[in-house]
């Protein structure tokens, strides 16, 4: 009601579609919602400042390159690093081969990540041993 409200919810609609059987060679920059049913050989990233951008990968989808978005809902395959500034949902057939930088993650049984998980925005905590006298 008061102050600036930031809408960081996933995009409810799909503005663009890369259909099944389609192969795109090159980088893709989008805003809003993008659904991939085909294959992309290149990076997929949300336009700068697109805080509600959503990428949806279907079972048949394959991305060979980096992915940088606010929200990712995946049931497909990504071969490359993934950076998600808001939320990552990995459904049962999702597979990521590469490091994942995330803020919030939900993994369904059967989802696979072959790489490092790095929590975005986590405060680093320094632990010290208590001195005993």
Tell whether 113 is covered by a domain: yes
Strands 16-18 and 33-36: parallel
Q: Is 97 inside any structural domain?
A: yes
Distance, in Å, from the CA atom of 75 to the CA atom of 85, rounded to the nearest integer, reads 19
Within a domain: 32: yes
Average pLDDT of the chain to the nearest whole number: 87
pTM: 0.82
pLDDT in tens, 31-67: 999 999 999 999 999 998 777 899 999 999 999 999 9
pLDDT tops 50 at residue 92? yes
Its domain, for residue 61, covers 16-119
Number of structural domains the chain divides into: 1
Render 48-116 in DSSP notation, one character per residue. Answer: TT-TT-EEEE-TT-EEES-EEEEEEEESSEEES-EEEEEEEEE-TT-EEES-EEESEEEE-TT-EEES-
Residue 80 has pLDDT above 60, yes or no: yes
For residue 34, is it within any domain?
A: yes
Q: What is the DSSP letter of 42?
A: S
Residue 4 lies in a domain: no
Burial of 113 by CB count in 10 Å (0-12 exposed, 13-18 middle, 19+ buried)? Answer: buried
Domain annotation covers residue 39: yes
Q: What is the pLDDT of residues 9-19, one digit of tens each?
A: 555 788 899 99
Length of the chain: 133
Question: Does residue 8 lie within any of the structural domains?
Answer: no
Taking residues 68-72, what's their average pLDDT? 96
* Range in 43-47, 91-95, 115-119, 124-128 with the lowest mean pLDDT: 124-128
Give the model's pLDDT for residue 2.
43
Question: Is 126 a residue whose pLDDT tops 70?
Answer: no
Q: Please indicate, yes or no, if residue 2 is contained in any of the structural domains.
A: no
- Decide which of 114 and 9 is more confident: 114
């Amino acid at each position: 009601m008061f102050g600036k409200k930031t809408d960081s919810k996933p995009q409810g609609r799909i503005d663009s579609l890369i259909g099944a059987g389609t192969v795109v060679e090159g980088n893709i920059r989008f805003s809003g919602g993008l659904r991939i049913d085909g294959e992309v050989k290149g990076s997929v990233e949300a336009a700068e400042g697109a805080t509600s951008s959503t990428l949806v990968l279907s079972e048949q989808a394959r991305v060979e390159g980096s992915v940088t978005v606010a929200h990712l809902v995946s049931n497909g395959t990504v071969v490359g690093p993934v950076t998600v500034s808001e939320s990552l949902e990995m459904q049962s057939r999702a597979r990521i081969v590469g490091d994942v930088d995330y803020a919030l993650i939900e993994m369904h049984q059967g989802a696979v990540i072959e790489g490092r998980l790095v929590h975005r925005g986590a405060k680093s905590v320094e632990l010290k041993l208590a001195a005993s006298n």
